[in-house]
Structure 1
Amino acid sequence: MIRPYILSETNWGHLEHGQVELAILPWGATEAHNYHLPYATDNYQATAIVEEAAGQAWKKGNRVMVLPTVPYGVNTGQPDIYLDMNLNPSTQLAILRDLVAVLHRQGIHKLLIFNGHGGNDFKPMVREVGLEFPDMFISLSFFPQLVEKDLYFEAPGDHADEMETSLMLHLHPQLVLPREKWGSGAAKKWKIQALNGAGVWAERKWSSVSEDTGVGDPKKATAAKGARFFKDVCHTLAIIFQDICEVDKDDLYM
């Protein structure tokens, strides 16, 4: 069945007289995810979440439209990881600018960028594009921050960890290798102690940090955990979509 809120599935027969209130742009990456998860893990997750949440918002009368997922992200810290594909931030900015120009020209003045990859940082880009298109309302969402991860998963991590493995076991179990193939996700920490906290940052060289490219032990991952997390994230995101659709972009503050 065609889902009219998914641009890649819908058609001119539907859109000719349609009025989109909010465009949603999933943006992922193509990179190694430990030994056991597919390179497109970030894309599978981001796409599934926004499509489910958009469907919930659509059923409540919100005119949302999910754009095709951008499958490449910033992987500048992984140049030696085989076939980890990189878009420089300047390239992302150029892509975002072009897509915003299309939406603006079509009279769609609300955009949510749904980020599926930790290496992407859209805030500076949104600031710059926002100056060029001041009547656009552009927002960002990064799904691991939408709910409290500790309520769902036991082991900390940020790449091919218990959370991502659980999600993929729920969404695409056929793409997850058997458990005996999973790496430990053990990762080295910085010798500069401040870099292990939140107040100081430097880019990690991935091959020096992790032998299996994972950061976080996936061994306690289950499809049931992934299903529960997915359900709650999608519900939370659907409410966000509804709120953005219904708000007057020229009257945003209380």
Structure 2
Amino acid sequence: MMRPYILAESNWKDLKHANIDLAILPWGATEAHNYHLPYGTDNYEAEAIAAEAGRLAYEAGAHITVLPCIPFGVNTGQADIFLDMNLNPSTQLAIVNDVVEVLHRQKVRKLLILNSHGGNDFKTILRELGLKYPDMFFSSCNWFKALDKKAYFEMDGDHADEMETSLIMYLHPHLVRPLDEAGEGEERESLVEGIREGWAWSERKWSRVTKDTGIGNPKKASSKKGERYFKDLTEKISNLFIELAALNQYDPYK
């Protein structure tokens, strides 16, 4: 059945006179995720989260559309990992600019980028476009920061970890190799204290930081954990969609 809140499944007859308050752009990456998860993990997560949160928001009366997922992200630190695909930040700016140009021309005045990849950072891009389109409201969110993972998972991590593995085990179990084939996801920490503490930053060179491309032990992952997390996550993300759709972009403050 066609889902009217998913642009790729919509048709001209239904959209010709539609009123869309918010466009959601899922953005992922194509990269190695340890030995047991697919390269498209970030994209599968972004698409599923956007679709389910979009369904909940649409059924609550929000006028939204979920755009097709952008499948490539910033992977400049993974240049030597086989077939990890990279978009430079300047390329991302060009893509977002073209998307915004279409939305603005069609009088869709609000855009949320639903980010599914830690290497992506859209703040500077949206700051720049905000000067070019002052009558639009731009926002972004990292769905993986929306909930406290410690309430759902035992092992910490940020790439192909227990959380991501549990999600894909729930969403696409046929794409997950047996967990006894997965690496431990051990991370080598920086020698620089400020970087370890998180108040200083340097890009991680992936092949030097991790032996198996994972960061975080996935061995305690389960489909049941993924289902519980996905349900709570999409309910929270749907509330963001609803609030943004209803927002007056010209006066968005209390």
- TM beyond 0.5: yes
Indicate if the aligned counterparts of 2:25 and 2:112 stay in contact, CA closer than 8 A.
Answer: yes
One-letter code aligned to 1:248: N
Q: Distance in 1 between matches of 2:23 and 2:73?
A: 20
Query: After the TM superposition, which segments of 4 or more aligned residues of structure 1 sit over 2 Å from their partners?
Result: none
Q: Distance in 1 between matches of 2:188 and 2:195?
A: 12
Shift of 1:245: 1.1
Shift of 1:179: 1.6
CA deviation map 1:168-196 (0-9, x unaligned): 00100000001221111011111112211
Q: Distance in 2 between matches of 1:198 and 1:131?
A: 30
Q: Distance in 1 between matches of 2:57 and 2:63?
A: 8
SS in 2 for 1:77: helix
Shift of 1:214: 0.2
Give the superposed CA RMSD: 0.6
Indicate if the aligned counterparts of 2:179 and 2:218 stay in contact, CA closer than 8 A.
Answer: no
Shift of 1:84: 0.1
Query: In structure 1, what is the equivalent of residue 65 of structure 2?
Result: 65
One-letter code aligned to 2:71: P
CA deviation map 1:9-50 (0-9, x unaligned): 111011011111100000000000000000000000011001
What are the within-5 Å matches in structure 2 for residues 188-227 of structure 1? Answer: 188-227=188-227
One-letter code aligned to 2:130: G
How many residue pairs get aligned? The number is 254
What are the within-5 Å matches in structure 2 for residues 18-33 of structure 1? Answer: 18-33=18-33
Q: Distance in 2 between matches of 1:120 and 1:247?
A: 25
TM-score (norm 1): 0.99
Q: Distance in 1 between matches of 2:59 and 2:155?
A: 36
5+ residue gaps, structure 2: none
Query: In structure 1, what is the equivalent of residue 92 of structure 2?
Result: 92
Give aligned-pair identity as a percent.
55
1:102 and 2:124 equivalent? no
5+ residue gaps, structure 1: none
Q: Distance in 1 between matches of 2:253 and 2:13?
A: 37
What are the within-5 Å matches in structure 2 for residues 125-164 of structure 1? Answer: 125-164=125-164
CA deviation map 1:120-159 (0-9, x unaligned): 0100000001111011101111011111111011111100
Moved more, 80-89 or 144-153: 144-153
Q: Distance in 1 between matches of 2:218 and 2:153?
A: 10
One-letter code aligned to 1:144: F
Query: In structure 2, what is the equivalent of residue 121 of structure 1?
Result: 121
Shift of 1:247: 1.7
CA deviation map 1:198-223 (0-9, x unaligned): 21000010000111000000011111
Query: In structure 2, what is the equivalent of residue 169 of structure 1?
Result: 169
One-letter code aligned to 1:245: A
TM-score (norm 2): 0.99
Query: In structure 1, what is the equivalent of residue 235 of structure 2?
Result: 235
One-letter code aligned to 1:242: I
CA deviation map 1:55-104 (0-9, x unaligned): 00111111110000000000000000000000000000000001001000
Query: In structure 2, what is the equivalent of residue 184 of structure 1?
Result: 184
One-letter code aligned to 1:166: S
Moved more, 6-15 or 73-82: 6-15
SS in 1 for 2:9: coil
SS in 2 for 1:120: coil
Moved more, 63-72 or 188-197: 188-197
SS in 1 for 2:34: coil
One-letter code aligned to 1:126: L
One-letter code aligned to 1:29: A
1:47 and 2:27 equivalent? no
